[in-house]
Structure 1
Amino acid sequence: MDQLPPGNAPRLPYNSLQHGTVVAFGITYFFCTVVLALRYFQAIKLVKRVEVDLVILTLSYGAALVYFVTMLNLMANGWGRHMVELNMTDLIEFSKGLLPNTLTYLIIPAVTKLAMLCVLFKINPSIYYRAGVVAVGISIFAYTLTLTSITGGPCNPMKENTLKCLENVALAQAALNIVSDLAVVVLPLPTVFSLQFSMKQKISVSCILAIGSSVVICSIARLPYVIQLGETTADSTYTEAILGVWSIVEVNLGIFCGCSMRLKPLIVRYLPQLGLFSSRNTSGHNNIKSHGSWGTSKELRTDPRKAQHTYQLHSVQKGSSDPLSSFESPLGASTLRGAGTSTGPIQVHRGGDGLRSDGDSTDTILT
């Protein structure tokens, strides 16, 4: 059968690629909705506060819906179809809808990663660690601002001969996105693995990091299609749609990961039988460096000559059965007193409710 020339192609219903895009968004956004709702339940019912990362993730959640709406608009004008099926009117409308779609995608992953960095900033008081977190955050903000400015300016798809420019922006964003994803995953590793965790705690942290790694995998999976888009423009409307499916999964998975990494209070309260976040150690004194007595003193001080700091334990009572007693402060049961410049080894103490470390904020936030 002869192909119909552009301009005479009839309007067709959604094809399999377009249907797959809708399904991919529906499934991943559903899980985002569930975990975000759980975070708000936890914030209102249990911890009695709304953390800044939750506010930022809510913005990402709303932006993800806007991103999908821009995709639906593009579908109505040829997104996900082969070029031969489209007429000139379709291509013009497609170009109009491409700008908001591209800008939205550029912004959402960056905002989601900034929310994660807000959490990671709290887990280690070391000035070097926090400087690294801030440096990563500034880098993400800088390259996102630069790419959005270029896309909305010289590479605006409504201008003539800007397709190659847009492809270069997509390639640069893909590479920078992979690097920043890896940075967010790797940043907490030295702190997390320096703590005295039980096997169940290590498993729970590994699950969180695995979810974060899956976002990196999605970013990497997009890369070949970005490269393919730059090598051939003969069927860009179809290639961009394949790229868009991975983008949807990446965006929603990032939001899911950002929300789930702070669900410890909810799980401890309603699913204590899992024991994933138990900080008790039944092996006695093995590998534990203790300071002072093993009693219920509310103040534990470390040797100032070793650049350690003073910690105050709040709401820790011997024999307490309240699983949320360790969530009285944003950083957990131990609130840091000092400038947070310690780079020495993490010391572990015993309070009234079990083993606690000077890095207890890490234990409280992530496990």
Structure 2
Amino acid sequence: MSFSNDVSMDESQQPTIWGLSITFSIIAIVSVLLRFKARRIQGEQLESDDWTILVALILSMGVTVNLLMMTQCGGLGTHTRYDGDGNPLDPGRIVIFGKTTYSLEILVWPAVGMTKTSVLLLYKRIFITPRFRVVTWVGIGVAIAWTIAFTFALMFICHPIAARWNSEIPYTRGNYFALLAVALATDVATDALVLLLPVYKVWQLQMPITRKALVTGIFLLGSLVSIAGIIRTHFLAQVYDVLTEAPKVDVTWVYAPDFYWTIIETNVGVFSACAPTLRPIQELATRKLSSVIRKLSFPNLRSSDPPLDSLSSINKGDNIRLNSMEEGSSFDSKYISFTPEQLRNFLYV
């Protein structure tokens, strides 16, 4: 949107930015806390995939805080007021907007890259086929190289850096939007590759088709991140169209939708990386809920409980049936680090 006296200068997208920031930050934080709780329930130590998702969470929180500073101090989501000569009436706010936009580049790409790395490290921990481990290490190398390359490229595309927020400084600048478009496109492409990587291994397992489909669906939860990245690319294209058509652009207003999806992408990425590890939390919650329901629904049935020896015989019978059921779904532990039962316990199946 270019500067015009016809628009309502009182319009604001800031409540939306605050709502998205708070909601998705809570989702990301709770996801990581529950992931660590699940590890504790299982009596296992934190692994490299857990620590890297913690780093991704910290960076995602940095993205969110940075955007809230941009909103409150830099005017993101509001209209910039100009004088008759087309100069902003509050140049200090434009400076803050430029500085926080620049710092966003330093935070977003490492946050996204660390999330990809965490997911790949999780794959490496689950599947131990030598060839698959090589593929995951290659994927980790690509994710790290992608992160470093685009972070530094976008940081130093404008020289001097201060020209990003001070238009009076002479500067040289590469094609920022072309580079950003390539970064977003490769982001979506690498997300797709990371998502599809375990699918082949899952469908090699000797399990019922419905169970394979369920496990595949769990791994494909990360497609939410790809969808957010595609939508973010769409809004960036709209920003580019506005910037190329108008000499004076209301940047604090037109950038807001693109930054909505930056908040969503980084935080949903953390959630998607944690979701496959939360099986112990789901089991704990189910047991506690069942216990509460029993106490509320059948408060006087204690006297009619069966004797302990009959319960023991029932449990033995159940164990025999469960063991026989497992015979049809076993697979070679040479190719995966978990038994069929452990894999189902690890995931939501």
| Deviation digits for residues 154-176 of structure 1 (CA, Å, limit 9, x no counterpart) | 33652255676432332121011
| Deviation digits for residues 1-35 of structure 1 (CA, Å, limit 9, x no counterpart) | x9669xxx99x7xx542211111122222222222
CA 1:360–1:121: 2 relative to 1, 3 Å: closer
Superposed displacement of residue 42, structure 1:
1.7
Contact preservation (8 Å) 1:167, 1:229: no
Question: Pick from 34, 47, 50: which aligns with 1:51?
Answer: 47
Question: Pick from 131, 138, 158: which aligns with 2:141?
Answer: 138
Secondary structure of the residue that 1:170 maps to in structure 2? Answer: helix
In the aligned structure 1, how far is the partner of 2:236 from the partner of 2:317?
57
Greater share of helix residues, 1 or 2? 2
Superposed displacement of residue 181, structure 1:
0.5
In the aligned structure 1, how far is the partner of 2:29 from the partner of 2:20?
14
Question: Pick from 55, 62, 71: which aligns with 2:58?
Answer: 62
Contact preservation (8 Å) 2:118, 2:273: yes
Contact preservation (8 Å) 2:110, 2:147: yes
Give the equivalent residue in structure 2 for 1:33.
Answer: 29
Question: Pick from 223, 231, 241: which aligns with 2:233?
Answer: 223
Question: What percentage of residue pairs aligned between the two structures are identical?
Answer: 21
Question: Pick from 89, 94, 116: which aligns with 1:91?
Answer: 94
Contact preservation (8 Å) 2:129, 2:336: no
- Answer with 215-224 or 136-145: which moved more: 136-145
Secondary structure of the residue that 2:330 maps to in structure 1? Answer: strand
Amino acid at match of 2:74: N
Give the equivalent residue in structure 2 for 1:288.
Answer: none
Give the equivalent residue in structure 2 for 1:42.
Answer: 38
The alignment's C-alpha RMSD in Å is 3.2
Residue 81, structure 1, aligned to residue 92, structure 2: no
CA 1:200–1:360: 2 relative to 1, 3 Å: farther
Contact preservation (8 Å) 1:164, 1:230: no
1:77-156 equivalences in 2 (<5 Å):
77-84=74-81, 86-87=88-89, 88-155=91-158
In the aligned structure 2, how far is the partner of 1:217 from the partner of 1:269?
31
Residue 253, structure 1, aligned to residue 268, structure 2: yes
Contact preservation (8 Å) 1:225, 1:239: no
Amino acid at match of 1:144: T
| Deviation digits for residues 156-210 of structure 1 (CA, Å, limit 9, x no counterpart) | 6522556764323321210110011101111111001111234663354244234
Q: How many residues align?
A: 289
Q: TM-score, normalized by length of structure 1?
A: 0.69
Contact preservation (8 Å) 2:157, 2:174: no
Contact preservation (8 Å) 2:80, 2:252: yes
Amino acid at match of 2:109: L
CA 1:155–1:139: 2 relative to 1, 3 Å: farther
In the aligned structure 1, how far is the partner of 2:36 from the partner of 2:143?
27
CA 1:200–1:319: 2 relative to 1, 3 Å: farther
CA 1:184–1:244: 2 relative to 1, 3 Å: same
Contact preservation (8 Å) 2:49, 2:119: yes
Structure 1 ranges of 4+ moved more than 6 A: 318-321, 350-353
Superposed displacement of residue 59, structure 1:
1.4
Secondary structure of the residue that 1:195 maps to in structure 2? Answer: coil
CA 1:263–1:209: 2 relative to 1, 3 Å: same
Contact preservation (8 Å) 2:113, 2:146: no
Question: Pick from 172, 178, 191: which aligns with 2:188?
Answer: 178
Amino acid at match of 1:357: F
Unaligned residue ranges in structure 1 (runs of 5+): 275-317, 322-349
CA 1:227–1:147: 2 relative to 1, 3 Å: same
In the aligned structure 1, how far is the partner of 2:256 from the partner of 2:174?
17
Unaligned residue ranges in structure 2 (runs of 5+): 83-87, 164-169, 244-248, 290-315
Amino acid at match of 1:31: I
CA 1:98–1:46: 2 relative to 1, 3 Å: same
In the aligned structure 2, how far is the partner of 1:155 from the partner of 1:262?
42
Residue 356, structure 1, aligned to residue 323, structure 2: no
| Deviation digits for residues 296-349 of structure 1 (CA, Å, limit 9, x no counterpart) | xxxxxxxxxxxxxxxxxxxxxx9897xxxxxxxxxxxxxxxxxxxxxxxxxxxx
Question: Pick from 64, 68, 71: which aligns with 2:67?
Answer: 71
Question: Pick from 254, 257, 260: which aligns with 1:242?
Answer: 257
| Deviation digits for residues 226-264 of structure 1 (CA, Å, limit 9, x no counterpart) | 222333323433232211111111111110011111123
Amino acid at match of 1:214: L
Amino acid at match of 1:258: A
Superposed displacement of residue 137, structure 1:
1.7
Superposed displacement of residue 352, structure 1:
10
Contact preservation (8 Å) 2:231, 2:261: yes
Contact preservation (8 Å) 1:63, 1:108: yes
Q: TM-score, normalized by length of structure 2?
A: 0.72
Contact preservation (8 Å) 2:12, 2:78: no
Secondary structure of the residue that 2:74 maps to in structure 1? Answer: coil
Amino acid at match of 2:266: V
Amino acid at match of 2:105: T
Amino acid at match of 1:82: H
